[in-house]
Structure 1
Amino acid sequence: MHDASHHPLTSADTSADRFGGLRRRGFLAATGAASLGAFSVAGCAGTEDSDSDGKGDGTPKRGGRLRAAFAGGGAGETLDPHLANLFADAARAKALFDKLADYGPDLSARPRLAEKWEANRTLDRWRVTLREAAFHDGRPVTAEDVLHSYRRIADPKQAFRARASLEPIDLRASRATGQRSVEFVLKRPTAEFPNILAAFGAYIVPGDATAFDRHPIGSGPFRFVSFTPGRSAVFRRNDDYWDGAPYLDEIEFVVANEESARVNALLGGQVEYAHELNPATARAHEDRGQIAIVRLRGSAMQAFCMKTDRPPFDDERVRQAFFHIADRQELVDAALSGAGETGNDLFGKGYEYYADGLPRREQDLGRARALLRQAGAEDLRVTLNTSAVASGFTEAASVFRDQAKKAGVTVDVKMGSKDSYWSDILDNGTLCCYRSGAMPIEAHISQRLLTDSTTNATQWRHRDFDALYQQAQSTRDKQERAAVYERMQRRLYSEGGFLIWGFADWILGTARNVRGVEANAPANTLDWARFDKVWLA
């Protein structure tokens, strides 16, 4: 961990004292393993009526400081972008740094510092051309900076989040072919290589960067001003930003670990942006007019995870029975307080390659009982592991226990430790509550559903399924590749181990004068927590 510099508190810093101590962290990925957190409904926070400055037509206005409240990580926080694990870390990193690419609303890769990319015929060499961009100290962003950044991330002695994502790249063989051109040599064909460029935490830093908390230099839309870990970070507009100077003069990230503290700070005018509100709070304030509520639709996959390699779920008929037991709308209403939409046992609703043509699953207790009889499991008793580690988990477990009882299945709910839940359920037990943040469908498959996947919580291991993934990655034509992904999803829909019952909304609150907050941007994507396009009306 780098030493953190403790800057003298300003009056704005002091306001962070009133936002409470660290008790609840807002993690990027709710799986707690190597993975992270879709939305639809485009729009902006705030209203466009009666703006006192006459900017009610939605014309962006320059100036002002926006204060954004996030749950934080205490005194151990860092501005090292490669160590980002919390939502607050990711938001700060996005303000200071850039990646070669980032994810659009459908989780497809969009160019950022990379101007373009092109593959060879066999998809195992990719040439990336950088756009003309500069770091905050005026030096150009070069191919050598890119290679340095990726080699730093890939260091096996470090616990950098993006290291697993960069695994397909042979960084020893990859090279700069010009100041703004990199040739990446891959270990195998990788049609979705741009997803690697957009990987969570794959930020580009200067080639000589060593300390990130004293005065970090990036190429992002804001420049560093001050940082007090666990309290506040202040960044100022980068007028030379390649994607256009931000509208705001400054952005201040303040730490407020309790949801009530973030809401009270927003209501009291101490902050203009509050991250991660619960559904009850949203309902209470949605129509009062004091603050604006922004719902990022379908942001987090909610599921039950069945271990497919052990009884009773090694019998696909039992898995199919559980698919039919679930009343998905009841689960959304009870466990998510209605703040979400139902799922169809496939990850990535609304994302690129999602198989949306499959029949929508409804509860069918008769069909569930028949399948259990065929499997010789009429009086089935199973343990469902859950924990208060994630919102709605304990409620979902209780609701599903009651649903299963109607099909003659006894579900014993077992509460697990919040501290060790994700590691506990990865290889142990038979049935558990599970959730995930946004990531490409290809990444979900590669990280969770291949024989050698490191976070294979369903223990789904099928060599023919692995071969389909390799076929997709070796297929140049996108339509043909999409057909392979659909084939894989049809199999998961039929016999997989993820009972995906819903997709939860992610909820933000803003002051009424805040504009430009995208409601079409899942967490972990380009437009989520993107403050260079936000302004104060």
Structure 2
Amino acid sequence: MPHRPAFPSPSVTRRNVLALIGLGTVAAAAPSLTGCTSGEATVPTVTGSPTGEARRGGTARLAFAGAGAAESLDPTVGTSPCDLARYSVVFDTLFFFADGEAKPALATAAEVDSKAEHCTLTLRQGVKWHDGMPFTAADVVHTLKYRASPDRIAPSELSAYFDLASAEASDDHTVVVPTVQPVGDPATLFAGAGLYVIKKGTSSFSANSTVGTGPYRLTAFKAGVETRLERHDAYWDSNGYAEKVVLLSVDDAQARVNAVKDGQADYASDISFTTAKAGPPGAGLQIRDAGKDLRTTYGFVLNVSRDLPSDPRVRRAIKLGIDREALVKAVFLGYGEPANDLFGAGAKHYLDDVAVPERDVAKAKRLLKQAGATGKPFVVRTAEYETGLNSSAELFVEQLRSLGLNASLAKVSTTEGYDPAGMKTCDAISFPLGPVSLALTYTRSAAFETLAFPDEELKQAVATAISTTSDRERADAWTKAQRVMAARGNWVAWGRGDVLSLAKEKLTGIENRESPKYPWLGKVGFTA
């Protein structure tokens, strides 16, 4: 059968880029570049949730960054943390990420045949929809065909690997999906695709009709305001603790903090480093971090379709010449560390032994001079999708000027930040990425001209990592891909910052899966 190229080619839209970085359309307040440094004491944080036994009952209220009227109950549409937090407890996926790798959910196995022409999904038995109907293979087939439809706002990137429209149920708990290119680890691809399973026959979503198989069922929804949920007592993975969950859609990070401070919420997701530095704003409250393996990597992607970034001497000069420590101190305020120019920290097969480049300003200047880049214009594009992206870009521009580049800043709104046409006009683009799988990091970014690094060795390594059924070969291929990016790639990943939240001390059951910015709330509750 014909196979597609090694890299997927989704429709190149701003929404695709947002899906890659796992962000919606909102941002938090940025710290000042003249603020505290990591040399000053930081307020201690608590990693994760309390470990005490949770009690049954109560209502947990959690505030997330939302998308206003654009929020949707259709799990193929929304991208904001509030949308994604809602989807993850109303619906289930076939697989999900935890501890850097795919774990079974509605599917217990995904296997390809010896010719890599079909993937067989084995589904979990005994699962019930919120309306009491049994979950079957027909629901998965409907979901795959729904996601493959050209009518979708953003068709699933799984279509680059699987012929979703041709999926068939061989029995009530088995689905066979033809492949369109060799796939060695289908579970990881399904886990990274945001594939929430919807019931057979579903074509629209409303507060009165939406059902899932997740731990909580929908009872009320108002876009940009709140979602009300009640526990699904027939959930396949044991019942949750809180009887009810309310998700509050709050764009502004400080407003989320105020909601907890004033008793309107029990949890505020994704608070700023400045807020954390000030300490808990009241008794019985905690500043929490998601842990080092779930930090967000901050950096810049160099657009090698433009003259200066296409020169390896220029890329090397920037990697050697920037002051990572200064960036970390100014932006993270002590809640982070320098990075080694690789995205994907925390994912399975991430290469931990790549050192942070040692700064060498003199060599960086020599390389720029040799490339004829000294004094040439160099445009850095940024939007505040993450706390500190804009301030880091300001400092980055200053550092590039000190190296000899005529650097300037193009600061745009979050509605413009990852517009494909706008990105094409810039030499570097500020870019954050959490601990998503390496398959997602390398294949989806390769689909965008402004983000891609067109290197044959890299392409072959990624193709092998995606296609092989051998975990040893896959590990070796990802090692090769990462060494290419560290040595000559177009990523300038300068730091990794904590993902921070504010919570009441007794709130527990916050489980980080895809991203700590929208944790899984299936076991949320309160300790006694």
2:97 and 2:514 in contact (8 A); partners too: no
2:378 and 2:426 in contact (8 A); partners too: no
2-structure distance, mates of 1:487, 1:458: 19
Q: Structure 1: 5+ residue runs without aligned partners?
A: 1-27, 49-57
Is 2:18 the counterpart of 1:32? Answer: yes
Q: How far off its partner does 1:292 sit?
A: 1.2
Q: Which residue does 2:212 correspond to in 1?
A: 218
Q: Deviations over 1:266-302 (max 9, x none)?
A: 0121111111211111121249644111212453221
Is 2:465 the counterpart of 1:461? Answer: no
Q: How far off its partner does 1:222 sit?
A: 0.8
Is 2:433 the counterpart of 1:436? Answer: yes
Q: How many pairs were matched up?
A: 488
1:29 and 1:35 in contact (8 A); partners too: no
Secondary structure at the residue paired with 1:502?
Answer: strand
Q: Deviations over 1:115-135 (max 9, x none)?
A: 122221233322111111111
2:328 and 2:338 in contact (8 A); partners too: yes
Q: Which residue does 1:534 correspond to in 2?
A: 524
Among candidates 337, 343, 346, match of residue 341 of structure 1: 337
Q: Deviations over 1:157-198 (max 9, x none)?
A: 2214x6123431113433111100111210011113112321
1:100 and 1:113 in contact (8 A); partners too: yes
Q: Which letter maps to 2:194? A: G
The alpha-carbon distance between structure 1 residues 508 and 522, as it changes in their structure 2 partners (threshold 3 A), is farther
Q: Deviations over 1:93-141 (max 9, x none)?
A: 11111010011131x2111011122221233322111111111122211
Among candidates 488, 493, 515, match of residue 523 of structure 1: 515
Q: Which letter maps to 2:270? A: E
Q: How far off its partner does 1:504 sit?
A: 2.4
The alpha-carbon distance between structure 1 residues 294 and 266, as it changes in their structure 2 partners (threshold 3 A), is same
Q: Which residue does 2:319 correspond to in 1?
A: 323
The alpha-carbon distance between structure 1 residues 414 and 431, as it changes in their structure 2 partners (threshold 3 A), is same
Q: Which residue does 1:91 correspond to in 2?
A: 85
Among candidates 476, 489, 495, match of residue 483 of structure 1: 476
The alpha-carbon distance between structure 1 residues 262 and 30, as it changes in their structure 2 partners (threshold 3 A), is farther
The alpha-carbon distance between structure 1 residues 267 and 287, as it changes in their structure 2 partners (threshold 3 A), is closer
Q: How far off its partner does 1:363 sit?
A: 1.6
Q: Which letter maps to 1:523? A: S
Secondary structure at the residue paired with 1:242?
Answer: coil
Secondary structure at the residue paired with 1:435?
Answer: strand
Q: Which residue does 1:69 correspond to in 2?
A: 63
2-structure distance, mates of 1:126, 1:458: 30
2-structure distance, mates of 1:351, 1:475: 18
1-structure distance, mates of 2:484, 2:454: 13
Among candidates 355, 366, 373, match of residue 362 of structure 2: 366
Q: How far off its partner does 1:86 sit?
A: 0.9
Q: Which letter maps to 1:472? A: A
Q: Which residue does 2:172 correspond to in 1?
A: 179
Q: Which residue does 1:13 correspond to in 2?
A: none
Q: How far off its partner does 1:223 sit?
A: 1.6
Q: How far off its partner does 1:236 sit?
A: 0.9
Among candidates 481, 498, 501, match of residue 508 of structure 1: 501
1-structure distance, mates of 2:134, 2:211: 12
Q: How far off its partner does 1:258 sit?
A: 2.1
Written as runs of structure 1 = structure 2, the 5 A alignment for 1:163-202 is 163-202=156-195
2-structure distance, mates of 1:279, 1:267: 17
2-structure distance, mates of 1:224, 1:312: 52
Q: Which letter maps to 2:254? A: S
Q: Deviations over 1:192-220 (max 9, x none)?
A: 31123213431111102233222311100
Q: Which residue does 1:10 correspond to in 2?
A: none
Is 2:439 the counterpart of 1:446? Answer: no
2-structure distance, mates of 1:437, 1:227: 28
2-structure distance, mates of 1:507, 1:353: 25
1:280 and 1:337 in contact (8 A); partners too: yes
2-structure distance, mates of 1:218, 1:477: 35
TM-score (norm. length: structure 2): 0.86
Written as runs of structure 1 = structure 2, the 5 A alignment for 1:202-351 is 202-213=195-206, 214-286=208-280, 289-296=283-290, 297=292, 298-351=294-347
Q: How far off its partner does 1:242 sit?
A: 0.3
2-structure distance, mates of 1:392, 1:371: 29
Q: Which residue does 2:489 correspond to in 1?
A: 496
1:236 and 1:249 in contact (8 A); partners too: yes
2:145 and 2:167 in contact (8 A); partners too: no
Among candidates 381, 385, 401, match of residue 385 of structure 1: 381
Written as runs of structure 1 = structure 2, the 5 A alignment for 1:46-195 is 46=50, 58-106=52-100, 108-132=101-125, 133-160=127-154, 163-195=156-188
Q: Which letter maps to 2:49? A: A
The alpha-carbon distance between structure 1 residues 341 and 200, as it changes in their structure 2 partners (threshold 3 A), is farther
Matched-pair identity in %: 27
Moved more, 70-79 or 326-335: 70-79
2-structure distance, mates of 1:143, 1:211: 20
Secondary structure at the residue paired with 1:252?
Answer: strand
2-structure distance, mates of 1:278, 1:513: 22
Q: Deviations over 1:3-29 (max 9, x none)?
A: xxxxxxxxxxxxxxxxxxxxxxxxx99
TM-score (norm. length: structure 1): 0.85
2-structure distance, mates of 1:257, 1:351: 29
2-structure distance, mates of 1:165, 1:340: 34
The alpha-carbon distance between structure 1 residues 417 and 258, as it changes in their structure 2 partners (threshold 3 A), is closer
Q: How far off its partner does 1:248 sit?
A: 0.9
2-structure distance, mates of 1:256, 1:381: 39
Secondary structure at the residue paired with 1:421?
Answer: coil
1-structure distance, mates of 2:17, 2:187: 23
2:163 and 2:177 in contact (8 A); partners too: yes
The alpha-carbon distance between structure 1 residues 200 and 86, as it changes in their structure 2 partners (threshold 3 A), is farther
1:30 and 1:436 in contact (8 A); partners too: no
